[in-house]
Amino acid sequence: MKMLINVPENVVADALRGVAAAHPELTVDVANRVVVRRDSPVADKVGLVSGGGSGHEPLHGGFVGRGMLDAACPGEVFTSPVPDQMTRAAAAVDSGKGVLFVVKNYTGDVLNFDMAAELAEDEGIQVGKVLVQDDVAVTDSDFTAGRRGTGGTLFVEKIAGALAEEGAPLERVEAMARQVSESCRSFGVALSSCTTPSKGSPTFDLPAGELELGIGIHGESGRERRPMMTSGEIADFATDAVLTDLDPDGPVLLLVNGMGATPLLELYGFCAEVRRVLDERRVPVARTLVGNYVTSLDMAGASVTICRADEEMLRLYDAPVSTASLRWGC
């Protein structure tokens, strides 16, 4: 597999050097792998820190900036960051008002953020934590590691970030983040496998004429494989999977997210089909976001995230945001 890289070992550091070159509004510590708002710590503001394996760009580094995250900690490709990164980030962004960790529900992320929270608290930093677990493709039971965190992370970081920007205290920011997290459900499909730089060949074999329904953002298997379907049929399946679990009774936010290798032309066509399904089900869509936001390297495919939104959540979603990959109202 051809890749635009130097050597597999350096992909994360190389990308961080690029982020530093392109975004003077960020402080990028390449050696310690922490991306921080340059104006950190922002006085009298709760700091939002997230992180996770690399390979999901622009998540999380692309969401660092005013109105969203204060810091992001990128791990190796598809590998959670280490506790040292999160404690370093927490120390850099804590104004004295505390720090909220936004954690996607994967065993590695949870363990490393837990260790980091302990270390940060030892240093006198107040730490709150919210788990994002929105993927309905996997069963949440005692027999699994619980639902995976995927596209809902964007809504959690945007909405909680806006509330933090207004100066709300940690308890309120944490409660809002939790409310958003509980209001989000996602479902993804893969048309092709991703390829990690270290392995250099596809993570899984997906025959040319098939797709994987319920794919995870690390190439983890989903619910089932089927012969290739049309955009409309995929929209029916994915949206139904989400609505079966969510059952919204009011306005929703919609994220139609690309996995990395699917052109926007196809994504917008898919968005139209998802909207058709939501219209048929009489689900009022208040806002729609289309693009590659929570990706899986070079995987082709898409995910649908739907988030129940009350007026306060809508107001915070609309609030100004200025990051590398999400920017409006400013």
Residues that bind other proteins (CB under 8 A): 53, 75-84, 106-108, 111-112, 115, 138-139, 142-145, 148, 196, 198-199, 203-204, 216, 218-221
- SS3 label, residue 254: strand
Active site residue 56: yes
**150 or 179: CB nearest other proteins:** 150
C-alpha 167/C-alpha 171 separation (Å) is: 12
**108 or 251: CB nearest other proteins:** 108
The dihedral built from the CA positions of residue 200, 78, 180 and 155, taken in this order, carries a sign that is negative
Burial of 42 (0-12, 13-18, 19+ CB in 10 A): middle
Give me the helices (H) in the chain, please. 11-22, 83-93, 107-122, 152-165, 170-183, 231-246, 264-280, 311-318
Shortest separation between residue 61's beta carbon and other proteins, angstroms: 16
Shortest separation between residue 91's beta carbon and other proteins, angstroms: 16
Shortest separation between residue 190's beta carbon and other proteins, angstroms: 13
Shortest separation between residue 301's beta carbon and other proteins, angstroms: 16
Please count the helices (runs of H) and the strands (runs of E) in the chain.
8, 15
Within 8 A by CB and 6+ apart from 180, the residues are 152, 155, 156, 159, 160, 307, 313
Active site residue 23: no
Among the options 59, 218, 252, 278, which is catalytic?
218
Shortest separation between residue 16's beta carbon and other proteins, angstroms: 15
Find out whether 170 and 98 touch, Cβ atoms under 8 Å.
Answer: yes
Shortest separation between residue 117's beta carbon and other proteins, angstroms: 13
Shortest separation between residue 308's beta carbon and other proteins, angstroms: 25
**74 or 98: CB nearest other proteins:** 74
Among the options 33, 37, 45, 56, which is catalytic?
56
**Among 151, 119, 117, 121, residue whose Cα is nearest residue 133:** 151
| DSSP characters over 30-51 | TTTTEEEETTPSPTT-PEEEEE
Q: Which two tokens stand for residue 329?
A: 């109202």
Peptide bond into 56 cis (omega under 30): no
Q: What are the φ and ψ backbone dihedral angles of 18, each rounded to 5 degrees?
A: -70, -40
**8 or 284: CB nearest other proteins:** 8
**47 or 81: CB nearest other proteins:** 81
**215 or 324: CB nearest other proteins:** 215
**18-31 burial, b if ≥16 CB within 10 A, otherwise e?**
ebeeebeebbbbee
**38 or 199: CB nearest other proteins:** 199
Q: Which two tokens stand for residue 103?
A: 């954690």
Positions marked catalytic: 56, 218
